[in-house]
Chains A and B, each alone.
Chain A
Amino acid sequence: MSAPDERWNPDDGPAPTDEERAEAARLSDALARPVTPDDPALRELVAVVKRIHATAHPDRDAQRALVERVTREVLAAARPTASPVRALVRRAWPVAVAAAAVLVVGVSVGRARTGRARTEESISRDVDDVLRTPVRPGAASAPAARVYDARLTAWREAYLRGGSR
């Protein structure tokens, strides 16, 4: 057996620098360890090695164990999502949102109308108006009193019926 050539073979490219030799030694060291290196450049080269290894020498037992574990974890995490109820909820959520929007708009419009009606047709305001009308002694006060009485009576009846006018 001939001794290995200590000199650099020019067929292998330009002679390496000390820095390149140190990098090559770090790679060799990294490949001998199970831990992936943190250095990004080294990590890339180790990844290439591991890609080759995974392609050429798959460790089927280790892969099977890993996949079974991950599948179990994923199924455990996804179980509620996969339930028919969740699936239904997921499919129905746009309808629910639309229904909620219609409800909100309906209530808002209804309230606005009710408010306008209250503003325009408020018995109390009418009563207030009557009450605010100056009451003068003599004949002029009689119509005001009659209007007041009539409106107050109507309001009281409405109130007693338990609703608005």
Chain B
Amino acid sequence: MVLSAPAAEEKALVEAAQAGDVEAIRLLLDRVSRPLYAAVILPRIGIAADAEDILRETLLRAIDRLQTFHWTGVGFFPWLRQIAIHQVIDHVRRVQRRTRLEERFERQAADVMPLHHAGAEEALIDQQERALSLKTMSIAMDALNDRYRQAITLRLLEERSREECAEALGVTLGNFDVILHRALAALRKAYGVR
């Protein structure tokens, strides 16, 4: 199979990295680490400090297991993404008992269908991963009642002030806080706890 130029370049980088070329490892990680953190790990974890730990552990494991990576034509990112999602699952297991979220992540980890092609640029990987996260969030939001969804949309998606949100819902600030609290508790069930 003839590889595209970016895919061939990525394959060459992987081979150099597997041969122990630290610069190649750096280039490979530079290419995919940001979308990995920003579009795969952080949207599934939320807490930045926890997400950072997971990113670190993912990269360390990837380097440690680099020799086990076999080029299958879909590129390096899906392999790294799989490691990251397993790290996310481990984290979720450490902090609480089995959840629907954990099951969902397991399905995502088992999904071998690549989102993009080998050699894809960071922006494309980021865009596709983010679309997946937005879709997951959107499905969870759809399960909420209208007022709760409105509270979350105004306060968190549109980033309006508490005062503006309360006014839009026609309630006091205190009552808006209660609505948002309930909305998030409901979303937590649909969206999954961490």
For chain B, give the interface size range: 35 or more
Pick the interface stretch among A20-28, A145-153, A155-163.
A20-28
Over the window 1-35 of chain A, the binary record of Cβ atoms lying under 8 Å from chain B Cβ atoms (1 yes, 0 no) is 11011101101110010001101110110000000
Contacts of B46 in A (CB 8 A): 46-51, 54
State whether the Cβ of A100 lies closer than 8 Å to any Cβ in chain B.
no
State whether the Cβ of B33 lies closer than 8 Å to any Cβ in chain A.
yes
Over the window 23-38 of chain B, the binary record of Cβ atoms lying under 8 Å from chain A Cβ atoms (1 yes, 0 no) is 0011001100110111
Pick the interface stretch among B2-10, B104-112, B183-191.
B183-191
- Describe A's contact surface by its main secondary structure: helix
Pick the interface stretch among B74-82, B113-121, B155-163.
B155-163
Q: Are A63 and B37 in contact (CB under 8 A)?
A: yes
> Nearest Cβ in chain B — how far from A33, in angstroms?
13
State whether the Cβ of A97 lies closer than 8 Å to any Cβ in chain B.
no
Given contact pairs A2-B170, A51-B45, A84 touches B19 in the complex (Cβ within 8 A): yes
Contacts of B52 in A (CB 8 A): 66, 70
State whether the Cβ of A82 lies closer than 8 Å to any Cβ in chain B.
yes
Q: Are A70 and B175 in contact (CB under 8 A)?
A: no
Task: Report 8 cross-chain contacts, Cβ distance below 8 Å, ordered by A residue.
Answer: A5-B170, A12-B178, A12-B179, A27-B177, A44-B188, A66-B48, A67-B34, A67-B55
State whether the Cβ of A78 lies closer than 8 Å to any Cβ in chain B.
yes
Q: Are A45 and B181 in contact (CB under 8 A)?
A: yes
Report Cα–Cα, A66/B36, bound state, in Å. Answer: 12
Q: Are B184 and A45 in contact (CB under 8 A)?
A: yes
Question: Apart from A45-B188, A54-B38, A74-B63, what are 13 other A-B pairs with CB-CB below 8 Å?
Answer: A12-B175, A27-B184, A44-B193, A45-B181, A45-B184, A50-B48, A55-B133, A56-B137, A73-B56, A74-B60, A78-B60, A78-B64, A82-B22
Contacts of A9 in B (CB 8 A): 147, 170-171, 175
State whether the Cβ of B59 lies closer than 8 Å to any Cβ in chain A.
yes
> Nearest Cβ in chain B — how far from A52, in angstroms?
5
Q: Name the one of B130, B174, B181 contacting A55, with C-beta atoms under 8 angstroms.
A: B130
Report Cα–Cα, A50/B44, bound state, in Å. Answer: 10
Q: Are A13 and B187 in contact (CB under 8 A)?
A: no
Residues 142-166 of B contacting A (Cβ, < 8 Å): 147, 152, 156-157, 159, 162, 166
Contacts of B191 in A (CB 8 A): 48, 51-52
> Nearest Cβ in chain B — how far from A58, in angstroms?
5
State whether the Cβ of A124 lies closer than 8 Å to any Cβ in chain B.
no
Given contact pairs A46-B46, A55-B130, A24 touches B181 in the complex (Cβ within 8 A): yes
Give the most central of B22, B52, B152, B184: most A CB within 10 Å. B184
Contacts of A68 in B (CB 8 A): 30
Q: Are A57 and B159 in contact (CB under 8 A)?
A: yes
Report Cα–Cα, A2/B167, bound state, in Å. Answer: 9
Contacts of A164 in B (CB 8 A): none
State whether the Cβ of A43 lies closer than 8 Å to any Cβ in chain B.
yes
> Nearest Cβ in chain B — how far from A68, in angstroms?
8
State whether the Cβ of B67 lies closer than 8 Å to any Cβ in chain A.
yes
Q: Are A64 and B44 in contact (CB under 8 A)?
A: no
Report Cα–Cα, A73/B67, bound state, in Å. Answer: 21
